[in-house]
Amino acid sequence: MLTRTSLGANASEFSSIVSDGKFSGANAQSIAHDRGIETLTRLLTDTRAHAGSVYIIGNGGSAAVASHAVTDFFNVGGLRAMTLHDSSTLTCFSNDYGYEYAFSRRVERLMTKHDVLIAISSSGQSANIRNACEAARKRAATVVTLSGFKADNPLRGMGDINYWLDSDDYGMVEIGHLFLLHYVADLLAMDWSEEDHG
C-alpha cells in the first residue's frame, strides 16, 4: 500500500539509494563506487577517442532515460550515441521476431567491438534487454547494465560494468539511473572541452 511522504523525505531516500549504488564487473566482481564511475567514464572516453558508438536501450520509463542520456552524451559529451527504439524499426522487429528479440536483432547488425551497449532495466528481468546484452557480447562489444530491485536479478551479472540500485521503487531506480548517466555525461563534457573537437 502506498503512503504519502513529504518531498524532503523522498529526496533523502533517493540520495541514500544513489549513494549506496553498487558497481560490479564481469563475474560479479565488486567495484568501489568512485572507481565504478571512473571506470565507466574512462570506457566512454576511450569509445569516443576510437570513434565507437554507444547504444542505449530500455523499456517504458527506462526508454525515456535512454533517450535523455543519448541527448546528453551526444550534445555535451561528444559521443556517437543513439537509442534503438525508433518506433518503425522496433515494431518491425517485434512483429517479425517477437518483442523479446526486438533489440538483439538490431544489435547483431549494428554493433562492433568498438561499441558500447548500455542496457537499462529497473527489474533486470526484461527478456528483450537481456537478449540484447547477449547479442552485444557475441559481437565483442562492451556491455554496461543498469538495474535495481532484487540483488540477484539476471541483468546485473551480464555486463562488463554493472550498476545496481537497492530499491524496488520504479521511480527511484529510473531517476537514479538517469542521475548516474547525467553525472557521467557532465564528466565527459569536462574532458571533451579540453580536447580539440572542433
pLDDT confidence of residue 194: 57
Q: How many domains does the chain have?
A: 1
108 by Cβ neighbours in 10 Å (0-12 / 13-18 / 19+) ranks as middle
- What CATH number corresponds to the domain at position 89? 3.40.50.10490
Q: Is residue 111 part of a domain?
A: yes
Alpha-carbon distances, residue 67 vs 6, 70, 72, 120, 121 (angstroms): 29, 5, 9, 11, 14
Q: Is the pLDDT of residue 60 over 60?
A: yes
Q: At residue 87, does pLDDT exceed 60?
A: yes
The region of weakest confidence among 86-90, 127-131, 171-175 is 86-90
- Per-residue confidence at 6, pLDDT binned at 50, 70, 90? confident
pLDDT at residue 75 is higher than 80: yes
Residue 5 falls inside a structural domain: no
* pLDDT tens, residue by residue, 17-56: 999 999 999 988 999 999 999 999 999 999 999 999 999 9
**What's the rounded mean pLDDT across residues 104-109?**
95
Whole-model pTM?
Answer: 0.94
DSSP state of 198: -
Which structural domain, as residue segments, surrounds residue 170? 22-190
Which pLDDT value is given to residue 46?
96
Residue 16, domain member (yes or no):
no
In the chain, % of residues over pLDDT 90: 88
Query: If you write DSSP's letter for every residue of 116-158 in order, what string do you get?
Result: EEEEEESSS--HHHHHHHHHHHHTT-EEEEEE-SSTT-GGGGS
Q: Is residue 172 part of a domain?
A: yes
User: Residue 51 phi/psi, 5° resolution?
Assistant: 60, 30
Q: How confident is the model at residue 195 (pLDDT cuts 50, 70, 90)?
A: low
Reply yes or no on whether the pLDDT at 169 is more than 70: yes
131 lies in some domain: yes
User: Mean of the per-residue pLDDT values for the chain?
Assistant: 93
Is residue 87 in a domain?
yes
- Asked whether the predicted pLDDT for residue 144 surpasses 90, the reply is yes
Which of 32-46, 66-80, 182-196 has the weakest average pLDDT? 182-196
User: Is there a domain that residue 8 lies in?
Assistant: no
Alpha helices by DSSP H, the chain: 7-19, 33-49, 61-75, 87-97, 104-110, 127-138, 170-193
Domain-located, residue 6: no
Give me the mean pLDDT over the 167-187 stretch. Answer: 96
